[in-house]
Amino acid sequence: MVGKLLKTHSLDMPEHNLTDRERRVLEAVIQSYVGTAEPAGSRTIAKNFQLGISAATIRNTMSDLEERGYLYHPHRSAGRVPTDLAYRVYVDRIMARSLLTPDQHETIARELDHGVSAIEGLLMKTAQVLGVLTEELGFAVSPSFEDAILDRLELLPVSSDRILMVLVLRNGAARTIFVEVSSDLPAEAIGKVAMVLNERLSGSKLREIRATVRERLRDVKGGGKGRDLLNIFVEEAETIFDVSTESDQSVLLGSARMLAEQPEFSSQEKMRDLIELTQRHDVLMGALRAREEPGLTITIGGEHGNPKLNSLTLVTSTYQYDGLTGVLGVMGPTRMPYEKIVSIVEHTSRLIGDLRR
C-alpha cells in the first residue's frame, strides 16, 4: 500500500470495496494498459499475469468492474481501459512504491548539484530532470517569498523622483522595487539610508520586516532628506516589502518532447491542446495553488475540475529550500506508471531540501 504520506483528491463517490480477485484483476488491467497503451482483454490478462484464474473468470470479473465504474469499453474494442476511479483506487490502495535505481539516484544528484546558487536555476534543472526520468512533463513552481530572508538591500537613484531598491535574498534570488520620492535626493543621503536599512533589516524575513519596520527604525537619529526617505520606508512598508504576490510565482517547465511522443497526443487536436496547455501557465498555477501543505498529492483526470486537464494526471510534492516552500512534480496522461513517478517526485523534493543544509 502507498501509506499515509500520500494525500489525494477523492472522487465524489461512495466508498468502494473490492474483493481480492477484483483487486488483482484491476491491478493487472491497469498495469497492462499503462505498459502497452492498448485496451486489455481477458486473454491478454490471463496470458501475461499469473492470477491463478481462467480467462473466463477474468472476463466476468472485468465485466463486474465495468458495471461498477472502474473500467470502460473504448469504441470498437474488445478490451477495457481503466477509468479515473480505477486509477484513484490503484494509487490509494493497491500500488507499491518503486525503488529508485542507482542510475536514477545518480542522475538526480548530479543534475541538481551543479553549483547553481539562484533558486530559479535550481528549479529549472529540477523540471528538466523530472521530465527526463519520468518521460512526462516535469515542472517546478517558484516559491512565495513571504518567508525569504533579506541578505542585503541596495538603493539606486534612477531619476529625481524615483529610487530603485534591490532586495538580495539569502536563497540567491533578487527582487527590485521602485520607490517614489518627493524630491531629488543627494547620493550621500541615499547611501546613509541604505546603510541604516541594512543594519536594522538584514537577516530578517520579509514578512517580519513588513510587520516591524516602524519599530525597527523608530530610534534612528538624524533629520533632513535622509529622514524623509526613512519615513517613506516606514509608512509604505506593506507595499515596498511585499514581493509575494501571485504574479511573483512562476511555473518552470521542462521539455514536453517525450510527453508529446506518447500515444495520447498522436492526433493533431490533442497535440494542439498540449501545446496550448504548456503556454497557459495560469491554468497550471490554478491547479497547483492549493498544494502548499507538506507532502505528496496526486490529482487524476476529472478530479481537477478543469476540462483542459480532464485527460491528465498531476503528481506533485512540496519542497523546502532555505526556508521557502514551493511545489514540483510531473504532468502526464492518466495512463502513467504511478509507482515509479511517485518515488522520483518524492525523492527529488527531499533532495532539494537537503541542498541548503
CA distance 35 to 185: 68
Q: Please tell me the predicted confidence (pLDDT) of residue 246.
A: 47
Residues 300 and 203 in one domain: no
Mean pLDDT for the chain overall: 85
Question: How many whole angstroms separate alpha carbon 231 and alpha carbon 247?
Answer: 28
As a whole-number percent, the residues of the chain with pLDDT over 90 amount to 44
The predicted model gives 241-267 an average pLDDT of 79
Q: Are residues 260 and 338 in the same domain?
A: yes
Number of domains in the chain: 3
* Structural domain boundaries, residue 53: 6-94
Confirm whether 15 is domain-assigned.
yes
> In 3D, which of 352, 338, 353 has the Cα closest to residue 2?
338
Distance CA 186, CA 337 (A): 63
pLDDT digits (tens, 9 = 90+) for 300-325: 999 998 898 999 999 999 988 877 78
Each residue of 223-239: b (16+ CB within 10 Å) or e?
eebbeebbebbeeebee
| CB atoms near residue 334 (< 10 Å) | 23
Q: What is the C-alpha to C-alpha distance for residues 347 and 354, in angstroms, rounded to an integer?
A: 11
Task: Say whether both 270 and 329 belong to one domain.
Answer: yes
Q: Quick one: which of 252, 286, 302, 268 has its CA closest to 119?
A: 252
In a domain, 41, yes or no: yes
Domain shared by 202 and 267, yes or no: no
* Residue 159 confidence class, pLDDT cut points 50, 70, 90: confident
- Look up residue 206 and give its three cell numbers: 520579509
Per the model's pLDDT, the better-predicted residue between 18 and 353 turns out to be 18
- Please say whether the dihedral angle defined by the alpha carbons of residues 109, 257, 312 and 272, taken in this order, is positive or negative: positive
More confident site: 42 or 147? 42
Question: For the domain that residue 270 is a member of, what is the CATH number?
Answer: 3.30.450.40
Does 200 lie in the same domain as 137? no
* Residue-level pLDDT at 13: 46
| Rounded CA separation 303/288 (Å) | 13
In a domain? residue 1: no
Q: How many Å from the N-terminal Cα to the C-terminal Cα in the chain?
A: 31
Do residues 224 and 189 make contact, with C-beta atoms less than 8 angstroms apart? yes
Residue 207 lies in a domain: yes
Nearest to 64 by CA among 22, 16, 11: 22
- Cα dihedral 46, 47, 51, 53 in deg (nearest 10): 40
Helix (H) or strand (E) segment spanning residue 25? helix 20-36
Q: Which of 311, 305, 351, 307 is nearest to 328 (CA)?
A: 351
Together in a domain, 171 and 186: yes
In this structure, are residues 196 and 190 in contact, taking their beta carbons and an 8 Å threshold? no
The last residue of a domain, from among 57, 74, 94: 94
Same-domain pairing of 131 and 156: no
Note whether 193 and 154 are within 8 A (CB).
Answer: no
Please indicate, yes or no, whether residues 123 and 27 belong to a single structural domain of this protein.
no
